[in-house]
Structure 1
Amino acid sequence: MSDDRRIHPSKLAGDRASLITFLDYQRATLAMKCRGLTGEQLKRKAVATSGLSLLGLVRHAAEVERSWFRVVLSGEHCTPLWPATDAGFGEFHVRDADVDEAFACWREACEGSRAAERRVESLDDTVDFRGEEISLRYVLTHMIEEYARHNGHADLLREAIDGEVGE
């Protein structure tokens, strides 16, 4: 993809800065995979055997951001933005979805996540979540993994939609 606006992580940063910038890089990668597409293209389930769409991935990323940073790390109660249905995760059902709303919710969730991360003193600080100790280090690492996995899906979806490939 020729329009790479991502900020590449430092090869010399300390642990916290490295994790944060790698997570932001993964967030920017998802945005890049969606850039330049119409609403209908973003909603397209481009792989016949899958229910995934780029817009579904954006909505899922918003839910995951809220879940890990607001619910787990900050102890907040959050009602899902797109409640589950009998067919599964609600965020993946995008036929009637509002594209602008989805991206706004995702950007807001990312900003909320950044704010929650800044409130935690150390990567090794933990919270008790349902009887399990979870560190900020784990949350950041898990989120990098979550985005990296779904960005792989986004690569395939984007290529099937318009042939665009790239990192």
Structure 2
Amino acid sequence: MSEQLPERWTKAGVYPDMWVDPDDDPRNTNGSAPDGELATFQDYLTNYRLTLRMKCEGLSPEQLAHRSVPPSTMSLLGLIRHLAEVERDWRNWIALGEPAPKLYGDPDGDFEGALPERSVVDGAFADLEREQADTDAEFAKFPDLGARIGRDHDPVRALWVHRIEEYARHCGHADLLRERVDGRTGQ
């Protein structure tokens, strides 16, 4: 017996292949790029963060916790929890001193603990928001993109690119996960 899959759909009315109409898009999509390398990095990261949130909008805890395909443990809620954990990891890489403990315990705790419960969903989004703010504050201490920082003496520029890459990759996952949940496609 085959699983019933949702029909593809979009909320957009102007361009039917888009997630939202351009006038309703909260991301910087007006065609004007920011000046400077750091501002460009910040803009891309902000837009990917908004994209991830958009992919989760309007879903129930059950839908957010819906896993992709076995044996994968990936879900939209798991991605939110994973990125909260990753934000903390970046801060641990660059801040000297004792690293902050894992948010969700075991190496797969971020995905395995993505349960379809309102308290888990609310906690995950709160964790992500807090960890993003804390990591942003730590990165703000290093405006020189060529400076080498942290335990591994990585260049700030490389860490920014890694952060953007991490969100971009997981936004691609979120596109597929959302389509699997309710048929809504991304842009």
Matches within 5 A, 1:2-151: 2=20, 4-8=25-29, 10-68=32-90, 70-76=91-97, 77-84=99-106, 88-93=107-112, 94-95=114-115, 98-129=120-151, 132-151=152-171
Q: How many residues align structurally?
A: 161
- The code of the aligned residue for 2:138 comes to A
* Equivalent position SS for 1:51: coil
Are residues 111 and 10 of structure 1, via their aligned partners in 2, closer, same or farther at CA, if it must alter by over 3 Å? farther
Cα 1:156–1:48, aligned 2, differ >3 Å: closer, same or farther?
same
Of residues 102-111 and 1-10 in structure 1, the stretch that sits farther from structure 2 once superposed is 1-10
TM-score, length-scaled by structure 2: 0.80
Percent identity among equivalent residues? 40
- In the TM superposition, what whole-angstrom CA distance separates every residue of 1:109-162 from its partner, at most 9, and x where no partner exists? 111121111111311111242xx3202111110011111111111000000000
Counterpart AA for 1:78: A
- Give 1:96 deviation, angstroms: 6.1
Whether the 8 Å CA contact 2:82–2:111 is kept in 1: the answer is yes
Please, which runs of 5 or more residues in structure 2 have no aligned partner? 1-18
CA-based RMSD = 1.7
Q: Which runs of 5+ in 1 are unaligned?
A: none
Using the size of structure 1 for normalisation, the TM-score is 0.89
**Which 10-residue stretch deviates more, 94-103 or 153-162?**
94-103
Structure number with greater Rg is 2
Matched, 1:162 2:182: yes
Quick check: 2:149–2:155 contact (8 Å CA) kept in 1? Answer: yes
- Alpha-carbon distance change, 74 to 128 in structure 1, aligned in 2, over 3 angstroms: closer
2:145 and 2:25 mapped to 1: Cα distance? 30
Separation of aligned partners in 1, 2:116 and 2:73: 14
Counterpart of 1:152 in structure 2 is 172
Contact 2:41–2:160 at 8 Å: present in 1 too?
yes
State the one-letter code of the partner of 2:83: A
